[in-house]
Amino acid sequence: MTNRHTSDADPPPGPGEPEDVPLEFAAFCELHRPRYLSYARVWLTEHAHAATAVQQAFAEIAVQWRELLTSPNPTALAWQILRGTVAEHTRRETPAPDRHPADDDLAILHYVVGLAAPEIADVIGTDTASVAGRLRRTMLHEASGW
């Protein structure tokens, strides 16, 4: 009888990832890594730098995993960790006072990465209606500046 949970069946961990991670954390990483990487590549055009930032974010998420799971919205907290990690790797300008950086993130996820509102809601840990409304507001704000 074979044990499907043996380490031989699992892919080796990425650089900086702990070797023995909970299944839920591995699934979370599998689900969010492509989207997180796409987001990071907008800010960090060098693929290796983006991959490093995402890897560091997942390492921090792993450290806080148990606490995240007891929070009301683990996905939103994980997104904040990613945003903070990517910001540490960039020299972003301070946004205009009437502009919220999270709205810029929504625009990036929608217009650059190509995610629909439900997918964005899944990535950042919020509801679809909120994402759709904030995207409309961002689009109107941009249109008024033209």
Residues whose CB falls within 8 Å of the CB of residue 88, separated by 6 or more in sequence, listed in order: 53
Question: Token pair of 74, please?
Answer: 């683990």
Which tens digit of pLDDT belongs to each residue from 104-134? 899 999 999 999 999 999 999 999 999 999 9
* pLDDT band at residue 146 under the 50/70/90 scheme: very low
**What three-state secondary structure class fits 77?**
helix
Residues 6+ apart with CB under 8 A from 71: 77
Domains along the chain? 21-92 (no CATH), 94-146 (1.10.10)
Between CA 112 and CA 122 the distance in angstroms is 17
Q: Which residues contact 28 (CB under 8 A, 6 or more apart)?
A: 61, 78
Token pair for 82: 């990613």
Residue 144: band (very low, low, confident or very high) from pLDDT cuts 50, 70, 90:
low
